[in-house]
Amino acid sequence: MFSPEDRLQIEKKGLTQDQVLAQLELFKNGFPPLNITKAASAGDGIIKSNHSIIPKALEEYDAQLPELNTLKFVPASGAATRMFKDLIEFMNKYQGSEEEYLELLSNRNPDSIYYFFENLKSFAFYEDLKLYFLNHVGQDLDKLLDNNEFVWILKGLISSEGLNYGSLPKALIKFHNYKTFSRTAFEEQLLEAQGYCTDKRNSVNLHFTVAEDFQPEFEKLLAELAPLHKEKYGIRYKVDFSIQDPTTDTIAANEHNEPFREADGSLVFRPGGHGSLLYNLNQLKNDVIFIKNIDNVVPDRLKEENIHHKKVLGGILLIYQSQIFDYIRLLKKPKELDDNKLHKIIRFLEKDLCTIPPASFHEASRQEQVDYLLRKLNRPIRVCGMVENEGEPGGGPFYTLEADGTQSLQIVESSQIDKSNPDQMTMLESSTHFNPVDIVCSLKDYRGKKFDLMEFTDPDTAFISQKSKDGKDLKALEWPGLWNGGMSNWNTVFVEVPIITFNPVKVVNDLLREEHLTLAFLQWRDR
């Protein structure tokens, strides 16, 4: 199947022929759907926002933070192409005819192209765009806007000749307008981390996964910001960057599940999805790690509330971790483990970790029960914020059935469900909460030894997606998602958090939502 040129290409990827052949087999065989048993809800799989543990968790986290080795892990390699997708399409087809202009004016909804231009001066990148036109084109942006030079304006913003926002990582896009200055998503992530990752030496640890081509841009921006923040806040950043391991790339397949090839005959490989970042996470050795998407940031006026809920999640992690470690040590001391203590551990597993053993567990011998409990407790831990679903059914927190008959909590995407099964679809649509990727985790065992995270994934939760290249359809293989199948065999705790903690920027007009407007801008706008 593979030519000498193919074998050389595979070798340069850091892969073997057997690995690539195994990937092609996955295209042929597919993956089994997850078996959900019910949706998790507040009080049943999700800790309620008014639960008595919340204030205890906040107190616990504040008490331990100075001595904790914390880190914030932010996947930041994604380009902003999707964020500007509608604008790019408009730029490529708009001819400036009267009919097109009238059509543009007819839709003034907050998600429309017209709304973007109408509010152009409100965006944090407006001043940079204005300077670009003045210094490089010799034009006044305001006049271009008055003259409806929409395509010209967009080329200045999106194209590589201008600000290049169509290709930059989303992290490097200016998000928030403070009137006298603006901040990128990257800088907002740095500032937020101060609130829950500052140790007794006033150091803050962060790790960003970035696209290799743009790593110098990140390093340059960090070099500019770090001394300014140290002077203003007394904070010293310890920031590491990593790129997605090329060995996690997967081969693309055609409709016949054979290798998809370029016009010149070479093989096509694609990134294996955000599940590939599990390899990056696996290299970290911190005690407590927060995971958050790059675009989920807020301006200063809303940071305190977001920081509060991060601390709550961190405190719950510490409380559960302490209890789990105590129970593991007890299980390893059979002389001290009486029936009452054993039943207490079983109850903790079922009621607190929402991990329900199979019926056969209760008929097993005492040693078999102890072995089962040790397997289930001695795993990485994740505490995940869950936001109430505001009318959009889909993936989120569910109880699922594992291969050994155990029921456990999982973050499930709708693509993982058998849509031909009406019972499964009913449970999917009954979900009350969704996952905003707001996670804090512990990667070490009760002895302080780091887990190998690759041992706790579920390979059957990988999936195949439909993509295209050069106008031709292809199949792409994506590894188990970082917070889905990649963490399938972790101990999982779900906690209800308010919607204010979820402020993603999926399209550029999202930056005009109230949650992304700064106090300075609001005061200027309303004066």
Cα distance between residue 35 and residue 461, in whole Å: 11
Residue type present at position 491: N
pLDDT tens sequence across 191-203: 999 999 999 999 9
Output b/e per residue, 196-211; b: 16+ Cβ within 10 A: bbbbeeeebbbbbbbb
Neighbours of 108 (CB within 10 A): 11
What is the rounded (10 degree) CA torsion for 402, 492, 481, 31? Answer: 10
Q: What pLDDT sits at residue 500?
A: 93
State the Cα–Cα distance between residues 213 and 210, nearest whole angstrom. Answer: 8
User: What pLDDT was estimated at residue 293?
Assistant: 94
Nearest 10 degrees: CA dihedral of 339, 345, 346, 349? 180
13 vs 320: which has the higher pLDDT: 320
Q: Provide Rg for the chain, Cα atoms.
A: 25
Burial 27-46 (b: 16+ CB within 10 A, else e): beeebebbbbeebbbbeebb
What is the arithmetic mean of pLDDT over 139-149? Answer: 95
Please tell me the predicted confidence (pLDDT) of residue 17: 93
pLDDT level of residue 391 (50, 70, 90 thresholds): low
Q: What is the pLDDT of residue 271?
A: 86
Confidence of residue 347 (pLDDT cuts 50, 70, 90): very high
Span 332-354, mean pLDDT?
96
What's the token pair of residue 149? 């030079």
The predicted pLDDT at position 392 comes to: 52
The residue-averaged pLDDT of 442-468 equals 93
Residue 387 has pLDDT above 60, yes or no: yes
What is the per-residue burial (b if ≥16 Cβ within 10 Å, else e) of 409-418? Answer: bbbbbebbbe
Q: C-alpha angle with apex 326: 323 to 328, nearest 5 degrees?
A: 110
Cα 385 to Cα 340: distance, rounded to the nearest angstrom: 33
Burial (Cβ within 10 Å: 0-12, 13-18, ≥19) of residue 303:
middle
pLDDT tens for each residue of 209-262: 999 999 999 999 999 999 999 999 999 999 999 998 888 999 999 999 999 999
pLDDT digits (tens, 9 = 90+) for 467-501: 888 778 999 998 998 998 999 999 999 999 999 99
HEC-encoded secondary structure of 138-175: CCCHHHHHHCCCHHHHHHHHHCCCCCCCCCCEHHHCEE
Q: Grade residue 523 by pLDDT with cuts at 50, 70 and 90.
A: confident
Quickly state the pLDDT bin for 429 (edges 50, 70, 90): confident
The pLDDT, as a whole number, for residue 414 is 84
**What gap in Å lies between CA 436 and CA 424, rounded to an integer?**
22
Mention every residue, 6+ apart, whose C-beta is less than 8 A from residue 162: 129, 132, 136, 155, 156
Q: How does strand 36-39 pair with strand 396-401?
A: antiparallel
Give me the pLDDT at residue 63, please: 97
Indicate whether 268 pLDDT > 90. Answer: yes
Q: What CATH architecture does domain 4-80+172-526 belong to?
A: Alpha-Beta Complex (3.90)
**How far is residue 459's CA from residue 270's CA, in Å, rounded to a whole number?**
18
Contact in structure between 291 and 439 (CB atoms under 8 Å): yes
pLDDT averaged over every residue in the chain: 94
Place of tokens 């999707």: 82
Q: pLDDT at residue 465 above 70? A: yes
Q: Is the pLDDT of residue 1 over 80?
A: no
Tokens of residue 320, six digits: 């559960």
pLDDT at 184 over 60: yes
Beta-strand ranges (E) seen in 100-232 are 174-177, 182-184, 203-209
Mean pLDDT: which of 5-9, 60-64, 410-414, 462-466 is highest?
60-64
Q: Is the pLDDT of residue 43 over 90?
A: yes
pLDDT of residue 385: 96
How distant is the alpha carbon of residue 25 from its chain centre? 29
| Measured distance CA(349)–CA(330) in Å, rounded | 14
Predicted confidence at residue 395, as pLDDT, reads 61
CA dist., res. 141 & res. 269, Å (int):
42
Indicate whether 394 pLDDT > 60.
no
pLDDT in the model for residue 5: 92
Whole-prediction pTM value? 0.94
The C-alpha angle 376, 379, 384, rounded to 5 degrees, equals: 100
Among the listed ranges 106-120, 198-212, 389-403, which one has the minimum average pLDDT value? 389-403
Q: Hey, where are the domains in the chain?
A: 4-80+172-526, 82-167
Q: What is the pLDDT of residue 87?
A: 96
What is the structure's pLDDT at 35? 94
Name the DSSP letter for residue 276. Answer: G
Q: Are 70 and 289 in contact (CB under 8 A)?
A: yes
What residue type is 427 in one-letter code? M
